[in-house]
Every structure is written in structure tokens, then in C-alpha cells.
Amino acid sequence: MAGPLSQILFDFSNEEPQQPKEFLSGAPLPAPEPTKRTRGRKPLKPTEAGPDKVLVPEDTILFQKQYWGISEVAAMFGVPISQIRYWENEFPQLKPRKNGKGDRLFRPEDVKTLVLIHDLIRRRKYTLEGAREYLKRGAQAEEQFHMIQSLQKLRQFLLEVKAHL
């Protein structure tokens, strides 16, 4: 072996292993620093707007487009794309269209349903089974949800007025 690699290997083979000074002196070695875990479930990170609000545009803007891509929808809710796909499998009310490639295309009505699902699971802390039952009740549940949303908007408006006084 007469190349630069053999010279490097040869140079390392002549060195003797060195022990840390603490080990030679008899002092205890410091405990290793804990490493960041890379496996297991990651904690839920709060979205930019928090669990109470999602970044879904107003109805006038939402209904301007016929379909929204799954990445756009995931960005609105601040969740990974896989979370949207999982909710699609868990809730029969959520049926996005798929194009020839299999890409999911969400209608504005589907986005509204996702807002309700997100609200039930993240803000109200329903289980998936409880949220499914809530959605099965249908029109009454949607009516209550829309009433709560309008009251929250009114509250935000009043808080802004109060802050400007």
C-alpha cells in the first residue's frame, strides 16, 4: 500500500491510545450529557395561532377557489399532511376528491368540516370516537359550532375595541 491512505493508516497505527486524565487520576468521570430523543411520539407543538384559532381564510376568500391542495390545508391548520390524511380515514364526513395522480383536493366544504374536526379534537379535547359521534348528530352540531364561532369573533372584536379605548 503505497498511497496517501496507507500513509494515514500507518501514522495512526503507531500512536498509543491515550486515557483521559481524570481516569488516570482516579477522579470520577462526569455523567454523559443526555441526548435528544429521536424516537417515539413527539409532543404537540402549539400552532402559530394556538389551538383556539386556525389560519383558515374568510369564507369569501375560501370559496374563491374550487379546490385546495392538501399541503395548503395542512398549512392552514398548522398540522402535518399525515394528520389530515389520518382524519380523512377516521371521519366518514370528510371525503376529498382525488385527481388522476391520487392527490387529495379539498373543497371549501371539506375545509369547513376540517375546522370543526380540529376544533373538537384540539380545543375541546374530544377523543376521535367522541368527535365522530358529535359529527353524526349532523345539522344540530354544525349549528352550534357556527354559533360558537360567531360569538368568538364578536369577543375578539370587542377586545380590540376595548384595547383601542
The tens digit of pLDDT for each residue in 93-109 reads 899 999 999 999 999 99
Residue 58 in this model has a pLDDT that exceeds 90: no
Nearest to 85 by CA among 62, 124, 95, 138: 95
DSSP character string of 122-158: IIS---HHHHHHHHHTTHHHHHHHHHHHHHHHHHHHH
Cell of 80: 402535518
Complete domains list, the chain, with CATH:
57-125 (1.10.1660.10)
pLDDT at 145 > cutoff 90? no
Contact by Cβ (8 Å): 113, 94: yes
Tell me if 149 sits within 8 A of 142, measured CB to CB.
Answer: no
Q: What is the pLDDT of residue 97?
A: 93
Q: How confident is the model at residue 49 (pLDDT cuts 50, 70, 90)?
A: very low
